[in-house]
A and B are shown apart, each in its own frame.
Chain A
Amino acid sequence: MAEVILQGINKNFGETPAVSDLDLVIADGECVVLLGPTGAGKTTTLRLIAGLERPDHGRILIGGYDVAKEAPAGRDVAFVFQQYSLYPHLSVYDNLAFPLRSPARRLDKNEIDRRVREVARMVRIDHKLDNRSTRLSGGEMQRVAIGRALVRRPAIYLMDEPLSSLDAKLRADLRLELKRIQKELGSTLLYVTHDQIEAMTMADRIGILTEGRLAQIGTPREIYSNPANVHVAARLGQPHINLFPANLLPDSKIPAGTQTIGARTEHLDITLGGHVNAHVAWVEHLGDQNHLHIRLGDCKLTTLANPRLPVKPGDPIGLALRNPLYFGADGNRVV
């Protein structure tokens, strides 16, 4: 395990910038999750660290060494791809043993066997070691792919949306599993996803990427409650944060220069039978809670509500803000 440092990384594909001026420090034993929409440069960042792409500018240090000139094999990284990148003609056992059998490592047979079986137990695939890797379900294949990364003890594990092709139940299980394994091994992990639940639950720190730039990096708590700009605020929160013009709701505490107000469920107070300034447009019943769609002037807001709140479409309600997020004309926070 080692510290990984990216300094001023730039990477263009032809005319299109994929990553711009990226600075990132991943501490030893830390789990950093990169979150961002498609095309934000998440995968490119991973591939740059792995050496599958070369940066146009900038330095990459793994464990204090500049690895710019090293091929992927020389970098001591393990990579889990989004697709099941198993060796299709090999058994599960041989797939797991593949990285260990590299002549560069010179491990003896018993040691390989011990580590393969240990990792197979960890990712719960030990009952299928003799199966052909093509005869597995999607979830099993991805476990093998993760196992193949874990069987080594690299400086850093790089994982590119490893759970995105799995169904919801399996995704939740493997997410917990991965976090447990990462804690257990104390491994350095850079994890890419566009799923905010994965990011919130797994990360020690979350980095938000937009258009190849690191918009903000911090603990999940910080990123959620203290976003630097509109883009970051929009990445987290379910339902999506409500953004509306500052003059829509009268609020004496609005700081100067505020253009947009961002309000999540916890920033909205609903009162019934008092002052009326909005209407319920629609109610979605989710079971344990309700999605309330509210019409406020020309804007539509969505918020969570207690299912026992006695409202139906068309009902007048009173809406007030409680410490919402204020954004200026440039999209940055105004405090």
Chain B
Amino acid sequence: MTDTSSTSLGEAVARAAPAPIASRIRGLSDRSMAWLFITPAIALLLAVNIFPLIWAIYLSFTNFRANRPNAALENVGLSNYSRVLNDPNTWQAMQTTAHFVFWTILLQTLIGFSLAYLIDRKFRGHAFWTTIILVPMMLSPAVVGNFWRFLYQPQIGLFNHIVSFLTGIPPSSFEMLGSVRLSPWAIIIVDTWMWTPYVMLICLAGLRSIPDYIYEAAEVDRASLWRQFWSITLPMALPFIMLAILFRGIENFKMFDMVTLLTGGGPGSTTEVASITLKREAFESWRTGRASAFAIILFVAVFGLANIYVKALNKVKQR
């Protein structure tokens, strides 16, 4: 086919059919249009997510201090990492975090699943109660932190007065947020209060996904309620429960806002979870390089644990 004929054919087609969008903007193919549309989003992602991550990795190998931006930058190799890992404060913070994560997950899973199990009975007004139970989850952590500070107030706080009413211990004889022994539990209580509904919601989805006829079959097969629970309900809801644990675990590993508002890491460093140590290192001691190294270590730890966990989750799901 000659060049002229192909041009005239092309023109004829162009006249006959509505022109594709790309040919209206000269010189742009559909593919480049696609790129044009997604580039701003990618650029934004690179600027606020990927670049800072890479920059933090770079800084973790230097002696950079953010309050002295003009000082000479020196490459210190792995010494930031070795210092972080050899610092007893780091391990203290890690232990505090682990304690916090373990107990919040345990309590939230137990209470959340129990609530879901009850709500799933579909009693009268269950929709109303579901909504009421979900309220704490919808509040902002800043609001929750602030008003629990009032609730925990020894003289006027409702919490102390309720404990006093139930046990007879005088309300001003203990301070939930000021005591070394009680303050970790004060935070665990608030986090459990706020996030149990979330776990409940996911568990409820799991329970609702189990078809009724499996229970009916089990009933005809003479399985007791107890056996139905252990051999049907729990195994079939397990992937959902594990998912809830994953979400809560990741979230609580980096818990910052509520702890800051309630105790600020105190008294002393009894509630100083990893993210608070990190913040002190970065913006109070201004050892930016070292803080970056700590952040990278945390990131790798969470990422690694989450990956192992997701593998286990997939195994459960495939059964």
Contact = CB atoms under 8 A, between A and B. Distances in A.
Given A87-B232, A132-B319, A81 B216 contact: yes
Contact of B222 (A83, A85, A104, A148): A104
Interface in A99-141: 99, 102-105, 132, 134
A103 B220 contact: no
B223 interface: yes
A87 B213 contact: no
A89 B216 contact: no
Nearest to B238: A89
Contact of B216 (A52, A98, A102, A134): A52
A35 B224 CA distance: 33
B217 interface: yes
B236 interface: yes
B223 A98 contact: yes
Given A89-B236, A132-B319, A73 B222 contact: yes
Interface string B204-239: 000000010110111111111001000110011000
A103 B213 contact: no
A99 B221 contact: yes
A335 to B, nearest CB: 44
A50 interface: yes
A67 to B, nearest CB: 13
A85 B223 contact: no
A71 B236 CA distance: 24
B231 A87 contact: yes
Contacts of A89: 235-236, 319
B236 A73 contact: no
B92 to A, nearest CB: 42
A71 B222 CA distance: 9
B219 A81 contact: no
Nearest to A78: B220
B211 A99 contact: no
A103 B224 contact: yes
Given A89-B319, A98-B223, A79 B216 contact: yes
Given A87-B231, A89-B236, A103-B224, A73 B219 contact: yes
B236 A72 contact: no
A239 interface: no
B220 A73 contact: yes
A88 B236 contact: yes
A103 B223 CA distance: 8
Contacts of B232: 87
Nearest to A90: B231
A102 B216 CA distance: 15
Interface centre among B211, B222, B231, B236 (most CB of A within 10 A): B222
Nearest to A102: B222
Contacts of B220: 50-52, 72-73, 77-79
Nearest to B231: A87
Contacts of B227: 102-103
Contacts of A78: 220-221
Interface string B293-319: 000000000000000000000000001
B219 A85 contact: no
Contacts of B224: 73, 102-103
B217 A81 contact: yes
B221 A102 contact: yes
A147 to B, nearest CB: 12
A104 B227 CA distance: 12
A127 B263 CA distance: 63
Interface centre among B221, B223, B224 (most CB of A within 10 A): B221
A90 B236 CA distance: 11
B17 to A, nearest CB: 45
Interface of B: 211, 213-214, 216-224, 227, 231-232, 235-236, 319
Interface of A: 50-52, 71-73, 77-79, 81, 83, 85, 87-90, 98-99, 102-105, 132, 134, 148
13 contacts: A50-B220, A72-B216, A73-B219, A77-B220, A78-B221, A81-B216, A83-B211, A89-B319, A98-B218, A99-B222, A103-B224, A132-B319, A134-B319
Given A85-B216, A87-B218, A88-B236, 16 more contacts: A51-B220, A52-B219, A73-B222, A78-B220, A78-B221, A79-B220, A81-B216, A83-B213, A85-B217, A88-B214, A98-B218, A99-B222, A102-B223, A104-B222, A132-B319, A148-B217
